[in-house]
Structure formats: C-alpha cells, structure tokens
Structure 1
Amino acid sequence: MATTLTGGNPHIIQLPKTPPNTPSDPRTIAQQWLSTLSAQLSHPATLNIADIFHTESWWRDMLALDWDMRTVHTAPQIAEFLRQHQSKAQLCGFRLQDQGQFQPRLEQVVSGLSWVSSMFFFKSAVGTGTGMLRLTQGADGVWRAYAVYTSLQELEDAREPLGKFRAEGTTESMPGGLAGGTWIERRDRQREFLDGEPTTLVVGAGQAGLNMGARLQSVGISCLIVDKNDRVGDNWRNRYRTLVTHDPAEFTHMAYLPFPQNWPQFTPKDKLGDWFEAYASIMELNVWMKTSVVSADYDDAIAKWTVVVARGDGSQRTLRPRHIVWCTGHSGEARIPSFPGQESFQGRVYHGSQHRDASESDVRGKKVIVVGTGNSGHDIAQNYYENGADVTMLQRSGTYVLTADKGVFMMHKGMHEDGGPPTEECDIATESLPWPVQLALSVHLTKRIAEAEKDTLDGLRRAGFQLDFGPDGAGIARAYFTRGGGYYIDVGCSQLIIDGKIKVKHSPGGINGFGNRELQLADGDSLPADIVVLATGYDNMRTTVRKVLGDKVADRCSDVWDLDGEGEVNAMWRPSGHPGFWYHGGNLALCRVYSKFLALQIKAVESGLSPGIRQQSMNREAKI
C-alpha cells in the first residue's frame, strides 16, 4: 500500500496496489467505516485512527477543519491534524449519499487499484459540509481509508437564498418596505454605494470577478467589482478574433447560472463576453466599468483598506473596504522579453497578448515567426497561416498536446459532461482528491489519451515537434497546476504542422537576438522574419499587484500558483500572505468552484469565526 514521494520531483507518488477481491456490499463497508470515524472524532483528544487509515493515506480539507485549504499525508499526520482542529470544528452527523452516481460504489480506478468511494454529508460547529471517502482493502482484508475529503459548504448563519430559501421579492418584504424604494430604485443606490461602503472590493470583471461577486452577495457580503474595460466581457471580446474556449460547456458554467441546453460545446469569445455582461445584470452585481485603482493602503490597526479609484467620467472615489480580491487574471500580466538588436529589426515584433487578427493587414507571403508553442502560440500561428503567411513556430522545449475532440472529452468522461451528474456534485468529486494523487492518476489518463490520439502525436513527432508529457507523464494536469502553461489543446493547428503547412524550428538555447530582417538563434542558425510574435506567456499575478498597488502591498503577498509543500496551490483562493487581500483566478471551472470557498473565508472573517491571516500566521509560527 505504499504511497511515497519519489526522486527529486515534488508530489510524484506511487499509487497503491489492491487485492482483486470484489466486495458484495459497498454501502455496508462505507457505513461501517464512517461510523467508526464518527466515533473517533467524538473524542478528539484521544482519537486513534490507525485501524481505519492506511499508513500512507491522505486527508484534504477545505475550511471544514481549518480556515485554509490543507492536504495532510500519512496516518500519524492526519491524527495530529484532527487532534489539533476537531475539538473546535466539531464535525459530526455524518451521513452517506443515498442516491445518484456518488453513493457508495466500487470503482476500478486504474489497473491494480480499486476502491470503495462515496460522497457523504456532515455538520460542524459553524455549518454544513460535504466530503468524499475512498477506502482500499489491505492484504489483511480490512477496508481502510486511502483518501478522505471534507469541505465546508455553507455557514449556519449565512444560508444562501437558494430554492425554498429564496427572497420573497415584493417591495413590502424588502428592508424598510416601500419607504426604501422599489427594486430598481434600490438597485440604483446599491450600484453606486450611496448608503455605505462595500465590504469587499473585487478588481477585475472577468470570470473570476463575476463568480466572486455572485458568491459574496449570496452569503451577505456587500461587494463592488471594478474593471478598466468599457463593458463587462471585454476581457474576452478584446482578445484575438478567432479565440474559442477550449473547455466544453458543461465544465464552464458560472456559479448559480448554467449555460442554456442549446449553448454551443465550445464558446466563441464574443459570445462568452455577452454572456458575462448578461450574467452581471441577472445576478445583480455591482460593477463599475471604466474604473481603475489609483492607490491602495492597508491599515493593520483597523483591518481596513483605503482605496482610491478613478472612474470613467474623470471623477475619483475613495473606498474603505475590509477586503480586496484580486481578479485581474492568472494570465494577466504579459511576460515580454527583449533581445539584442530588437530596436533595429525592420519588421514587426509584438507579444501574443496584443494579437487581434492576421487579416487586419495583408500578410500573404510574409515570414512570420511565432515564439512559443502553448495554446496562444498555436492559435496565432494557425491564424497567420489561414491568412496566407509563411509561418514557423519556434519551440524551445517540449509541449504537451491533446485534442479538443478526443482528449478533452476523455478528461471529463463521467463528470462534467452532457447527461452527467449535477454540476455541484461533480465539483465536489473532482476537487476531492489531493493533488499528488490526482497527478498520479493523470499519468494513467494521459497514457490512455495518447493511445487514442496516437496518429496525431506520431505525426507531430515526424514533423519535428517535440512533445513533453511532464516529469511523471501526468500531462496537462501537472503542466497547468505547476506551470500554468506548457500545453496545447488542439483545435486544428496540429494537422497543419503534420502536413508541413506550418513549420517547426527547435531551438533549446532560445534566441540570441535580431538582425535587420531575421531572428538569430542560440545555435547559430537564423530565420528570415517579417513578423515575430512573442507568445511567451504571462508573469505571476503578484507582478500585477506590484505594478498597480506598489511594493508595500506586493512585498507582503506570496507568489501565486504552483503547488506548495502539502500539495495545495500557492496563495490562490486562500490566504495570500497579506491580511485582507486575496487572489482569485483560473479557468472558468476553477473560478466557479473556488469562488465558493473564498467567499466562505471572507464571510468567516467578517462573522468573527476566523481570526484572519494575521492570527493564523502567528498561531502557526508559535507551533513551529
């Protein structure tokens, strides 16, 4: 049953092997285990979990036990974690899921590994939660926990107004009755915050900011969203003309408001921008467009910000929120390198973030070099080729490639797909495994995808395109969560490369500089060039914080992304290092999922349930 870190690569583990026995009654196995756990948790000071957890086991917790996102590995560490937090958290009232896909069942996970899994529900001292258990059988025949997940889903004193708890909506039922005005009169005042300050200022009105605003308002936290663009949705509309989402519709719903059933599988950027604009209106979000942050200063003594914003009409407003949520985009600040001789280059050089469409000028026969082979690099290269340019992609290191029509749907099979379980349940299930375990499972999925896409991958290799499946072969999962890039979801460019219509030049040493009409490579070669597109990615979100808010704020924040020592994503969706400051970003699905947990953290601080990051840090330092 060993599950260990191997080699010098962090979070690369060996999955356990399980006996081939098939249990006759998964529900009985799950219920007996859950009842034993409940009994142990009722006496946290003396709990002994050795009989119900494998030595190499995992517990991932999102706010149910600790006001942070934690991954704890090995039974002794899990026992210590529970002893430390259960007396206050008071998890109890455990109940197995009794319907649908996530009730107790035996899963054949990968060859040689099966487990009994089930969703379960529980209560805590502050609210209600949902979890997942995964039990594997040892050589002695005993079923013990391999992985357990607990997540706080709702605070008892902040019940979301959903379904039967929805607001009545009549004027008489609103605070103050008719004297407070009609719905539209109240909305006009709310949008401008004429009667008070927003508790939270959200910077950015893309998928992160809009999901965040909807979640915060649903738990009763007043929220203002500001964005420098002209219209909600411009963060997508202003990107290159041919952009379409690479994730399918069932995976990319927004919080509380899924796409209609007739929505296209992959969404064109302008259509998505219009959806964002409609979403902001339907969800009654308070959004100020054409608004930028001028300055922000935090007062530790009163735990409050003083933020000056400049609005589109030339006026300025000073706001005093208690929280800032930074939603400017995980890929928000372009990483733009410069090279010797670039200023004398007689062609055009620009970063991929500035690309709009190759048809804006006559590029027929032009020599175009696209530097970088991630999603944007491929899309831009394809766009130039389709407009008659002579395109070469410059590749420094390998790239992971999977196709939108095969690999992407294999990733979501059984979960976020048409006819699949409810989105809310899928969100819990897909986030319930610790990332080291998810990455280990991704190794097997990546192999299956590669077999299904063998013709494409072999064709790319023959064309000189170098593939990279990651240090452990985990493919897109490791590339995304550790690098934030290094992959391409193929929507047509791979076949152009295979057919030789788009050329590939491999240059491990990168670029030496520019000549008058050429790009000079580190290996001594040169490529004639009229246009060079630097599809070189984006900087850490902390770079944007430093640029906008200054060193005083940025120096207290942590870098964002990649996995920390436990296996959780650094700083994103959780304490950032700076009190009252939070990062929120990622693809549409991640923004939907983690906006809930970030809203709960902010609500807990405001309700006095969580001491906030300053006290948490002091507590942890004292234990060290």
Structure 2
Amino acid sequence: MDSSRNYQKTVLDNLPCSLPTRDIPEDIDPCSISQVFSTRLAHLSDNEFTQDAIWRDMFSLSGTLRSFYSAKVILPTWRLLCQRRKTTAFKLRLETAFVNRKGADVAWIEVSFNFTIGLPLAASCSGYLCLVPNREGEWKIWVMGTILDQLPAEYGDIDQLDPVESSGSDLHINDTARNNPVKVIGKSRPTHQQTLQQHFDCIIVGAGQSGLCTAGRLQALGVSYICIDSNNEVGDSWRLRYDSSKIHTTRESSHLPFETTFTSDYPEWLTKDDLADAFKIWGDRYGITSHIWLSTTLESGSWDESTKRYTLKLRKRQPGSGQSDLVTVTSSHVVMAIGINSQVPKFPDYANKSEFQGTVMHSRDYKNSLNWKGKHGVVVGTANTGHDIAEDMVKAGLASVTIVQRSKTYVIPQTEYQKWAKTQYNLETDMKSSDIKCFAYPNVLSRKLGLLRNRSLYATRPNLYFELKRAGFLLEQDDDLTRHLCERLGGHYMDIGASKKIADGLIKIKAGSPPVSYTPTGLLFADGTHLKADVLVFATGFLGNMRDIVRRIFVDEVADRAGDCWGVDDEGEIKGVFKPTGQPGLWYIGGAISHARFFSRFIAMQIKAALEGKSFPVFDANEQEVSSRL
C-alpha cells in the first residue's frame, strides 16, 4: 500500500448528506415548533420534507436496516410501508424536543415519537425527527428515524430478564425462562446427555460479548437455545488475549444487557480480566451459563430447505482427558457470533522468510514481551494492537522497538474521545436511550458529524500530534471513527499512551517504504534500508469475513446466500450483520460490546417473530423501485 497516497473517498463520503447550517436562535422554543408535526406523522406529505431528507428504518417498517435518500424516495416508501404494516397511534413526545447543536454552525431541532404496527404482529416502535428551517423559515423534516422497540407483551420484554436464584444445586428462573423447553441444569458446564432434547429454536456459535448478549435477549423472550464456545470458560474470549489488552472504549459504554455491569469502582478503561470476570458473573447471574456448552466446536452443518432446519455436528471435548464426543443437534436458527473476520491471521508475503533467524509471530499468538529483554523488536501494523504490543516491548526493556507503518493511520486522542463518549454514555442516561443516541442516526450522518468534530479539533489545536508527525508518523487527520467502525471494524489507534512514546523516540517509526524481504537479521525495505530485528510481530489483522467460516461449515450455496459480513453497502448500511441475511435463519452479529448489546435485541425479536410464524417481511430494493413510481 502506498503510504503517500491521497485519502480516497468512501461509500459514506459519496452518499448525499449535508449538515444544516442555518442559524437557530438560542431563545427558540423547540416544543412549540415540534408540535406542528403532532398531527402530521400519520399523513406525511411532500411539504413536510427537505428535498435532501434521509430516513433510516431499523427493523420497524422495512424488516431490516435501510436508509432512504431524498423526499421523492422517502414519501412513497413511507406511505406504502405504513399501509402494509398497519401503523397507528403516532404520538410526538414533545417533552423530548431540544435544539441539537454541533459546534458553532450546525444545529437542528430533534424530537422523539412513538407508534405501533399491526402487521406482521402487533409491536411498539419509536422514532425521531430532525427539523431544520428553510429559507422562508418553514420547518421541515431533514432526518427521520424509525426503530422497532418491543414485541407484544405476551412474548416477553426484550429489555428485562430476572436474575436466577441459587438454592443448592437448583436454579430458579423467571417465568419466561421457565417456559423454555430447554432444561436448565444447576451446573456451569452441562453435557449433551443432560438436556431433554436435541432440537433448539436457536443455536448461537460463540460465547463472547455478541453470543452472550444474544443469549440473554433470546432468554428474555422465552426462545430455546444453546450457545457453544470452543473455550473452556465463559470470558476466555477476553481473558486469553495478550496480557496488556484492555478495552479502548469507556466503562459506561461497556455494560451487558439488563443491568449496570460495571460499577464506578472499575477503571474507566476496562482490562481484559475485568471483562472476562464480568462476563462469567453476568452469565451465572441470569442463568445463561447453564445454556452454554463450553469446550465445544462446530465441525459441520447442513440446511434442509424442506423442513427449514439446520443440522449441526458439534465436537464436545472433555477437558483434561483428551477425549471428545460428536453430538448432532438441530435448530431453526443459527447465530454466528464468532467475530466478524475469519480469524485467519493475515501475514504479508515478503520474500526469503526462511532466512530470518529470529522469532516471527502474528498478534493473535502474542502474550507479552517479557522473554525478549535486550532484543530488537519490530511490530508491523499501526492499529490498536500494534501500538499496544510496541508499548509492551518498551516496558519489557527491549534494546529497540520499531513500528513499521505501511499507510497513514487515524489516531484518536483518548481524552477527546472520552469527552464525546460521555455525551453518549453517562450515569444520567439509561442504557437503551444511550444506544439509540449512538446507533440510530444514518451512518452517513454519523460520518459527517465525526468529520466535523475531527476538523474542529485540529482547527482549535493545530499543534496536536506535531511531535508525533515530526517523529515520522504518517498521521491521517481527515478521517473519523464511523468510517473505521462501519467499513473496516478497526484500523485506527485510540491513543492511550504510545503516541507520546513515539514522539519521545522510545518507539521508532519506519514509514514511507514497504518491506520487501526478510534477511537473516531483520527486514529489507524497498528504499534499500535495513531494519534489525530479533522479534517480528505482525499486527496486520485477519483475512476474509464471517461468510468464509459459513462457507467452511456449510455448503457454498448457504454462504453465497448469506453474503458478506461487514463493510458498507450502497445505502451506507453495514453488510449482512444484525439483520436477515439471504440465507433463512442464519444471522451474523459482532463488533464492540455496545454493538452486541444494542443489536442483539433486534436479532432476538426477529427470531421470536419468525418462530411465531410472523416474520418481518424484508422490504428490498426491487419493491422500493416500484414504490417510488406510486
């Protein structure tokens, strides 16, 4: 990759979205302005929207994640879907109206509303309007969002799960879980012989944050499930990472569903062991651990088109014995919660690897640098993991530590990120509202707002990272976190200290020329320079996406139907994940803890509706084309 290339626009950059810059006076009354729309929501017309309006629906009307652009597309689609879903009871929540100001020049009025749908089943929904004035001073809808909130009460509350009570060897569970046909055993590691049946409504593959959140949501709705994980203990998905690993997002954004998982005595930046311990305690607290088959891997699977069921072959190890059992189970739904990428390490292909006399490893296998004191360490890769490993090497006393930078890198000052994060996640706002604030805007709008914050930061602090750049680091200033999360699920660095070490020369930077070959004592670069190394750690990510694991487990046809997982489609929505894939009953979930906590609610509600024979119809692009002509 050419490190000197200019920044290339992405899908999000090319989608139509303009931030409103008309002045909104400080003394304006947002409630009185919003009230005009109280009687219009059920019968929106052309006159209500700006021409460049955006509507994002999250599962309530489209049955999936969709973003619609321009009034001429939004209005006929809105009318068609409101008719199909039998929308009623629109109510504007005037008490929520406020002026949302983003810096000195960007502002709009925002107000929330509620409504219900009658088909395919009765469900409550929420939404929001972002209102802006036109040149004549008339207020119009600039951005609208609609969100599926709750299924009918008799199905359970997606946001409520009562803790279990332990009495001897028995677990007493809430009424919803008591009706679950899977027997809950009062042991943390049940075997397959201890279950009453071999068919489940859903099988979750992976018991990390995504698997646990999905399990909790399904249990809240009374869906029978098991969750399988190859690790020996709940929480090992974090505990087994490199020793210094910690989460780079704030504590308040890292809770699991139903509760405040991390109290104020936890550090702001949680360690891997904080997370691992909390995952296990949370799983035990809600009886979820009893549904988890640990030391179990998915070896193969098949899909029966006639019965609409999956058959899965599971290999269940007996820890410490070296023995294992092959178990066959069936399910109506499978949730892949194993991580977005394929977990196959990506190694750049440099010549003469066999000549290198030192240690080479991928970051997946890295634990710490304690055995390398006095040696020369080189890390290839400049995202979070690469920086963390370089810092580890400095602390361990290596003779030299160098990061090889192959392209410009977006670096976020942790203090600046923290200021923004606290506006989203804090003790004053309930978790569900915080998640909606974080995730409900169209991704293209979040991208624009991220760029606005970033450019304002560098405009007000022009010397930000001056020393980092002077040390040779190729800093990407014109970027934001939304693009990295939506399009790459990473590739940036949240600066928790390594940037200062680079500026001070404790970590050297080799940039501007790519490696081309190993040598017996290090790496040779295209510019003819040589970098001495005893230890080479490649923090270069992983190959492929979750579709590749589906292809390995199932047949090509299933993987082809399911499609890609992550990256951005032509509407600015993330591909595949959280929503119905092209393969019936197969779901992807992944991302940060906040992604898992929020989007697991929608996967669980969609699965429950399907099990009740009332699947949410997916409104696709072909139907949209027809509706736009109505």
TM over 0.5: yes
Task: Give the Cα–Cα distance (whole angstroms) in 2 for the partners of residues 295 and 246 of structure 1.
Answer: 35
Task: Give the Cα–Cα distance (whole angstroms) in 2 for the partners of residues 414 and 175 of structure 1.
Answer: 35
Judged with a 3 Å threshold, the aligned counterparts in structure 2 of structure 1 residues 292 and 109 are, in CA distance, closer, same or farther, namely same
Could you say which residue in structure 1 is the equivalent of 2:3?
none
Q: Could you list the runs of 5+ residues in structure 1 that have no partner in the other structure?
A: 41-48
Moved more, 368-377 or 550-559: 550-559
Does the CA contact (< 8 Å) of 2:37 and 2:92 recur in 1?
Answer: no
SS at match of 1:15: coil
> Structure 1 residue 22: deviation in Å?
5.1
Does the CA contact (< 8 Å) of 1:463 and 1:498 recur in 2?
Answer: yes
SS at match of 1:533: strand
Could you say which residue in structure 2 is the equivalent of 1:569?
574
The counterpart of 1:558, out of the listed 549, 553, 563, is 563
Could you say which residue in structure 2 is the equivalent of 1:43?
none
Moved more, 167-176 or 269-278: 167-176
Could you say which residue in structure 2 is the equivalent of 1:115?
108
Could you say which residue in structure 1 is the equivalent of 2:384?
375
Moved more, 378-387 or 438-447: 438-447
Amino acid at match of 1:111: A
> Cα deviations across residues 5-27 of structure 1 (Å, max 9, x unaligned)?
99995337432322444564211
Aligned ranges 1:141-220 → 2 under 5 Å: 141-156=137-152, 158-161=154-157, 192-195=194-197, 197-220=199-222
SS at match of 2:412: strand
The counterpart of 2:422, out of the listed 390, 413, 427, is 413
> Structure 1 residue 114: deviation in Å?
1.8
Task: Give the Cα–Cα distance (whole angstroms) in 2 for the partners of residues 76 and 280 of structure 1.
Answer: 48
> Structure 1 residue 461: deviation in Å?
0.5
Amino acid at match of 1:466: L
Amino acid at match of 2:481: I
Counterpart check, 1:341 vs 2:349: no
Could you say which residue in structure 2 is the equivalent of 1:91?
87
The counterpart of 2:248, out of the listed 222, 246, 262, is 246
SS at match of 1:575: coil
Counterpart check, 1:596 vs 2:606: no
Q: Could you list the runs of 5+ residues in structure 2 that have no partner in the other structure?
A: 1-8, 166-170, 319-323
How many residues are matched?
A: 599
Could you say which residue in structure 2 is the equivalent of 1:498?
503
Counterpart check, 1:401 vs 2:405: no
Task: Give the Cα–Cα distance (whole angstroms) in 2 for the partners of residues 571 and 609 of structure 1.
Answer: 21
> Cα deviations across residues 276-326 of structure 1 (Å, max 9, x unaligned)?
111111121210000001110011122110101011131121111111111
SS at match of 1:486: coil
Moved more, 146-155 or 183-192: 183-192
SS at match of 1:394: strand
Does the CA contact (< 8 Å) of 2:471 and 2:502 recur in 1?
Answer: yes
Could you say which residue in structure 2 is the equivalent of 1:130?
126
Could you say which residue in structure 2 is the equivalent of 1:522?
526
Moved more, 445-454 or 476-485: 445-454
Could you say which residue in structure 2 is the equivalent of 1:270?
273
Amino acid at match of 1:278: I
Counterpart check, 1:77 vs 2:73: yes
Judged with a 3 Å threshold, the aligned counterparts in structure 2 of structure 1 residues 498 and 83 are, in CA distance, closer, same or farther, namely same
Does the CA contact (< 8 Å) of 1:403 and 1:453 recur in 2?
Answer: no
SS at match of 1:97: strand
Task: Give the Cα–Cα distance (whole angstroms) in 2 for the partners of residues 375 and 176 of structure 1.
Answer: 40
> Structure 1 residue 525: deviation in Å?
2.0
Could you say which residue in structure 2 is the equivalent of 1:324?
334
Judged with a 3 Å threshold, the aligned counterparts in structure 2 of structure 1 residues 23 and 566 are, in CA distance, closer, same or farther, namely farther
SS at match of 2:354: helix
Could you say which residue in structure 2 is the equivalent of 1:52?
48
> Cα deviations across residues 437-470 of structure 1 (Å, max 9, x unaligned)?
111111111124445765551111111101113x
- Normalised to the residue count of structure 2, the TM-score between the two structures is 0.88
> Structure 1 residue 228: deviation in Å?
0.4
Amino acid at match of 1:104: A
Task: Give the Cα–Cα distance (whole angstroms) in 1 for the partners of residues 160 and 352 of structure 2.
Answer: 66
Task: Give the Cα–Cα distance (whole angstroms) in 1 for the partners of residues 282 and 454 of structure 2.
Answer: 35
> Cα deviations across residues 124-161 of structure 1 (Å, max 9, x unaligned)?
11210121111001111111101111101111155434
Task: Give the Cα–Cα distance (whole angstroms) in 2 for the partners of residues 91 and 371 of structure 1.
Answer: 54
Could you say which residue in structure 2 is the equivalent of 1:442?
450
Does the CA contact (< 8 Å) of 2:20 and 2:108 recur in 1?
Answer: no
Amino acid at match of 1:105: F
Task: Give the Cα–Cα distance (whole angstroms) in 2 for the partners of residues 438 and 428 of structure 1.
Answer: 13
> Cα deviations across residues 346-385 of structure 1 (Å, max 9, x unaligned)?
11111111110101x1x22311110010000000011011
Moved more, 181-190 or 314-323: 181-190
Does the CA contact (< 8 Å) of 2:60 and 2:148 recur in 1?
Answer: yes
Judged with a 3 Å threshold, the aligned counterparts in structure 2 of structure 1 residues 151 and 161 are, in CA distance, closer, same or farther, namely closer
Could you say which residue in structure 1 is the equivalent of 2:5?
none
Cα RMSD (Å): 3.1
Does the CA contact (< 8 Å) of 1:339 and 1:513 recur in 2?
Answer: yes
Judged with a 3 Å threshold, the aligned counterparts in structure 2 of structure 1 residues 96 and 421 are, in CA distance, closer, same or farther, namely farther
Amino acid at match of 2:540: T
Counterpart check, 1:104 vs 2:97: yes
The counterpart of 2:41, out of the listed 37, 40, 45, is 37
Judged with a 3 Å threshold, the aligned counterparts in structure 2 of structure 1 residues 459 and 195 are, in CA distance, closer, same or farther, namely same
Could you say which residue in structure 2 is the equivalent of 1:279?
282
> Structure 1 residue 618: deviation in Å?
8.9
Amino acid at match of 2:536: V
Task: Give the Cα–Cα distance (whole angstroms) in 2 for the partners of residues 19 and 299 of structure 1.
Answer: 59
Amino acid at match of 2:387: H
Judged with a 3 Å threshold, the aligned counterparts in structure 2 of structure 1 residues 133 and 618 are, in CA distance, closer, same or farther, namely closer
Does the CA contact (< 8 Å) of 1:171 and 1:181 recur in 2?
Answer: no
Moved more, 310-319 or 331-340: 331-340
Task: Give the Cα–Cα distance (whole angstroms) in 1 for the partners of residues 10 and 178 of structure 2.
Answer: 64
Could you say which residue in structure 1 is the equivalent of 2:432?
424
Amino acid at match of 1:386: K
Moved more, 448-457 or 490-499: 448-457
Q: Which has the higher contact order (CA 8 A, sep 6+)?
A: 2
Amino acid at match of 1:135: L
Does the CA contact (< 8 Å) of 1:333 and 1:544 recur in 2?
Answer: no
> Cα deviations across residues 374-430 of structure 1 (Å, max 9, x unaligned)?
0000000110111111111000111111222x122122132202x331111111122
Task: Give the Cα–Cα distance (whole angstroms) in 2 for the partners of residues 165 and 230 of structure 1.
Answer: 26
Does the CA contact (< 8 Å) of 2:177 and 2:219 recur in 1?
Answer: no
Could you say which residue in structure 1 is the equivalent of 2:481?
476
SS at match of 1:315: strand
Does the CA contact (< 8 Å) of 2:163 and 2:286 recur in 1?
Answer: no
Counterpart check, 1:305 vs 2:305: no
Task: Give the Cα–Cα distance (whole angstroms) in 2 for the partners of residues 168 and 576 of structure 1.
Answer: 34
Amino acid at match of 1:122: F
Could you say which residue in structure 2 is the equivalent of 1:44?
none
Does the CA contact (< 8 Å) of 1:19 and 1:139 recur in 2?
Answer: no
Aligned ranges 1:574-585 → 2 under 5 Å: 574-585=579-590
Task: Give the Cα–Cα distance (whole angstroms) in 2 for the partners of residues 153 and 522 of structure 1.
Answer: 55
Judged with a 3 Å threshold, the aligned counterparts in structure 2 of structure 1 residues 12 and 191 are, in CA distance, closer, same or farther, namely farther
Could you say which residue in structure 2 is the equivalent of 1:61?
57
Task: Give the Cα–Cα distance (whole angstroms) in 1 for the partners of residues 511 and 584 of structure 2.
Answer: 45
Task: Give the Cα–Cα distance (whole angstroms) in 2 for the partners of residues 274 and 61 of structure 1.
Answer: 36
Task: Give the Cα–Cα distance (whole angstroms) in 2 for the partners of residues 579 and 407 of structure 1.
Answer: 42
Task: Give the Cα–Cα distance (whole angstroms) in 2 for the partners of residues 167 and 356 of structure 1.
Answer: 35
Moved more, 210-219 or 323-332: 323-332
Judged with a 3 Å threshold, the aligned counterparts in structure 2 of structure 1 residues 283 and 137 are, in CA distance, closer, same or farther, namely same
